[in-house]
Chain A
Amino acid sequence: MTRAYRASTLWAALLIVVGLLAGPAQAEHRTGTLDTVGSDTMAGLMLRWGERLARRHPGMRVQLQASGSASAPPALTAGTTLLGPMSRPMTEAERQAFVARYGYPPREVVVARDALVVVVHRHNPLSSLSRRQLDAIFSETDRCGAAGGIRRWAALGLAVPPGRIVLHGRNAVSGTHGLFRREALCGGRFRPSVNEHPGSAAVVAAVAADPQAIGYAGLNHLTPSVRPVPLRDAKGVRRAPEPAAVRRGDYPLARDLRLYVNLPPGESLPAAEQAFVDLVLSAEGQAVVEELGFVSLPEAVVSRQRRRLGLAPP
């Protein structure tokens, strides 16, 4: 369950070669292999989309090297891939490197919504948390403005889980860790006592086993053994991590999953890439998003992006 061990399983599993099992041929016949490099959060999504693509266009395959969001920008810049799935926006430095090579910025396509959920043991009565409380629990810097750290359940006004709050989270190299730090801790620093797990599923499992625990994980890893805690937004309204709230952007810890595309302005995509993006931004592609536990995009966002990429309306 380490990074290395995960990386090796990913290497084995994610040289995903999809598509040799062809379905009946459809309208236009496209062939070729699409190489993509990027996010491991999106590995499942890319795999399923690749399967669907192969069904639409027999002879087309999608290969994904899912070694993390950070691996996408270098691959895009080096030209080894035209599509880079990322679970976080590109940093300015990454964007600059790309612009320096090509003279235009990479095109950003939002393909799905995801959210981070704060989970507690299923018997924990905690009703909701504000960002300030979240920061006071997880960080030692209190940059969101809390008066002091919260180390015990009693400090949240709860009688039932006794004692100390046991913290669980992702390891420092994951995008989930970075997003939570930026959004929930106001860019502050995690306490050193946060247990670092190699995957969201491990965080959920650890929280499920301990009544005193709290942790954060990706939305698609939620299981019935833990309870997601509703978060209060800036106005103090409780927002549960439900698909509708995530889709509207009301849930505070929502994020977009993106596909970065190397597309010169004024040109259209090569046929293979176009077929893939076309699939992703279709009803079928968005159904895959829902199937995997992420949140699909609003209709309007899909059609706006299709228009911008020069794709026919669905």
Chain B
Amino acid sequence: MMPTPPTSTMRQRLRQGRDRLATALITAGGIGVIAAVMGIAVFLVVEVVPLFWPAEPPRIRLEALWLPQDVAGLDAPAYRWQPTLADDGGPLFSLPPLVWGTLEAAAWSLVIAVPLALGAAAHSALFMSRRLRARLRPTLELMEALPGVVIGFVAGLALAPWLERHLALALALLLLVPPGLLLAGGLWRQLPARLQRRLPLGWAALWLMPWLVLTWGLAQWLGPLLESQWFAGDLRAWLEVTLGLDYASRNAVIVGMAMGFAVVPSIYALAEDALSGVPRSLAEGAQALGATRWQTLWRVMLPAASPGVLSAVMIGAGRAVGETMIVLMASGNTALMTANPLDGLRSMAASIAIELPEAAPGGTHYRLLLLAALLLFAFTFLVNTLAEVVRTRLRRRYRRLGGPS
């Protein structure tokens, strides 16, 4: 090192001091965040414990929370969540309908979000043109930034009534879109090479739009036809009479669609990262050995990135379980326990949001809502931790495979 003049050592010492201060601040911040999370967990546990070991009776029996109870006016024991009932044997606290509602909503949102998000991630990581991809990411991030209230509001007040009036059209779309897209792929392969160059695969997202509009038009025509031919002119009545499925306007599928919309961006972002992080050499090697694009994707890229994809899905599940406003506004908040996806549901998070302001602090209802909060906390904590562990292992694997370290 060169000998430095005295002023310079002073400056150096100042800089070291600043570095140390910054390090201390950042460390303190990190510890503070961890402490806050622990604090929340401790608070919830402390508030919930008196439910099971109260200072004075009555004590809540665990079986009463999880098993069907005898309910006045009903023949068989049943699950009922009616916490504000005053007379008639007191309030009914049964958690299974709420747990069921939470899981049902999360499951339907994953059913809708996972294929869309993973498909989009695979396409954009492997096939999409660079320019289009640069546009797609910010758009999806914008989607993620949309507040849950807005999505729930649109789903509850616009989507649900629309779907209720256009059930047959929705069914026709469900039947037509997937084969329609496959057909588009098949037709594209038959095109002469010159035309194929005009419609490159990297821009499929754009030139498929008119095709989708065409499919929509076809569904418009096919929907009423289907309804009058197969469903005696009224699909909703047919569902009720023939299949015994009640149709609630705000149902689990609506919630799944709205929440799926909210979950797609986070699954997409993580899965896309995982897929585009797969070392380029792997895909190139596979293609050099004569694998098709599909084989490369299915046999090489996806297995290599599978932990990342899995963790993306888990993060999505964590968000779906904890999401409050969308479920609250897009579902009818009916604490039912049916497997019928066209019936309403009530989630734990929504129950907390609706009932906590009115529950007397320290009361059974209040503590039960906090128990629900604790369950949500534990679930999201577990899922997120697991996802993070999986992602760390993935990064190590890429490094071994010779990707960017």
Contacts and interface: CB of A to CB of B under 8 A. Distances in A.
Interface in A155-183: 162-164, 166, 168, 171-173, 177-178
A196 B332 contact: yes
B122 interface: no
Contacts of A195: 248-250, 332-334, 344
B164 interface: yes
Interface stretch (B82-90, B127-135, B212-220): B82-90
A7 interface: yes
Contact of A141 (B83, B88, B324): B88
Given A141-B73, A143-B73, A164 B353 contact: no
A173 B357 contact: yes
B153 A1 contact: yes
A2 B153 CA distance: 11
B19 interface: no
Given A141-B72, A166-B248, A194 B350 contact: no
A189 B325 contact: no
Interface in A187-214: 187-190, 192-198, 205-206, 209-210, 213
B240 A173 contact: no
A140 interface: yes
Interface in B230-274: 234, 236-237, 240-241, 246, 248-250
Contacts of A27: none
B321 to A, nearest CB: 18
A140 B336 CA distance: 13
B136 interface: no
Q: How many B residues are at the interface, by size bracket? A: 35 or more
Contacts of B83: 172
A190 B92 CA distance: 12
Contact of A2 (B71, B157, B248, B354): B354
B325 A5 contact: yes
A2 B164 contact: no
Given A141-B72, A195-B250, A189 B333 contact: no
A172 B328 contact: no
B81 to A, nearest CB: 8
Given A5-B325, A164-B240, A173 B350 contact: no
A309 interface: no
A5 B149 contact: yes
B237 A163 contact: yes
A226 to B, nearest CB: 14
Given A164-B246, A209-B161, A70 B334 contact: no
Given A172-B82, A196-B332, A166 B249 contact: yes
A2 B343 CA distance: 20
B146 interface: no
Given A2-B353, A195-B344, A209 B249 contact: yes
B395 interface: no
B346 to A, nearest CB: 8
Contacts of B234: 162
A189 B334 contact: no
B62 interface: no
Contact of B358 (A68, A163, A187): A68
A3 interface: yes
A166 B72 CA distance: 23
B329 A189 contact: no
Contacts of A2: 324-325, 328-329, 350, 353-354
B123 interface: no
A2 B248 CA distance: 19
A150 B329 CA distance: 27
Nearest to A70: B358
Contact of A3 (B73, B81, B353): B353
Nearest to B359: A173
A173 to B, nearest CB: 4
Interface of B: 71-74, 80-85, 87-88, 97, 149, 153, 156-157, 161, 164, 234, 236-237, 240-241, 246, 248-250, 324-325, 328-329, 332-336, 343-344, 346, 350, 353-355, 357-358
9 smallest A-B Cβ distances: which pairs?
A195-B332, A141-B73, A173-B358, A196-B333, A209-B161, A172-B84, A3-B354, A4-B353, A2-B328
24 contacts: A1-B156, A2-B328, A2-B350, A2-B354, A3-B355, A3-B358, A68-B358, A141-B72, A141-B88, A142-B73, A162-B234, A163-B236, A163-B240, A173-B354, A173-B358, A177-B84, A189-B71, A189-B73, A193-B334, A193-B343, A195-B249, A196-B333, A196-B334, A210-B161
